[in-house]
Amino acid sequence: MSSSPTPPTFLAQIQAEITASIIHKNLDAAVHIKPSKMLTPAERLDIYADDYWARILDALIEDFPILQAYLGEDVLYELAEQYLQTYRSKHFSLFYVGDRFSDYLRNTYQKKNRKIVLETADYEWARAWCFFAPQFPLLDPSLFSEDDLMKTVLQFQHHVQLVTYKKQFRMIYRHDAKVNEKMIPRVFKDLLEKIQNGTSLDIAFDHVTTALHTKEIEALFAFCIQYGLLCQKPEGEIL
Of 39-48, 73-82, 176-185, give the lowest mean pLDDT range.
39-48
> Do both 19 and 98 map to the same domain?
yes
Q: Are residues 163 and 224 in the same domain?
A: yes
- Which residue in 70, 177, 82, 163 sits closest to 125, CA to CA? 163
Q: Return phi, psi of residue 33, to 5°.
A: -115, 135
- The CATH number of the domain holding residue 169 is 3.90.930.40
Of 80, 104, 132, the residue that ends a domain is 132
Instruction: Identify the domain boundary among 89, 108, 132.
Output: 132
Residue 103, classified by CB atoms within 10 Å of its CB into exposed (0-12), middle (13-18) or buried (19+), is middle
If asked whether residues 123 and 205 sit together in one domain, one would say no
Task: Looking at the structure, tell me whether residues 128 and 145 fall in a common domain.
Answer: no
Domain that holds residue 25: 12-132
Asked whether residue 2 is domain-assigned, the answer is no
Strands of the sheet containing 230-232, edge to edge, are 199-200, 153-156, 230-232
Of 106, 132, 158, the last residue of a domain is 132
Specify burial of residue 64 (Cβ count, 10 A radius: 0-12, 13-18, 19+).
Answer: buried
Higher-confidence residue of 182 and 6: namely 182
pLDDT digits (tens, 9 = 90+) for 5-54: 676 776 777 666 666 666 666 666 566 677 777 777 777 766 666 666 67
Question: Considering the domain boundaries, does residue 157 fall inside one?
Answer: yes
Regarding whether 210 and 127 lie in a shared domain, the answer is no
Considering the domain architecture, whether residues 86 and 58 belong to the same structural domain is answered as: yes
Count of domains forming the chain: 2
Sheet of 161-165: strands edge to edge? 161-165, 168-175, 178-183
E-strand spans in the chain? Answer: 153-156, 161-165, 168-175, 178-183, 199-200, 230-232
Q: Is residue 5 part of a domain?
A: no
Same domain, 31 and 112: yes
Do 152 and 220 lie in one domain? The reply is yes
The model's pLDDT over 65-75, given as tens digits with 9 standing for 90+, comes to 999 999 999 99
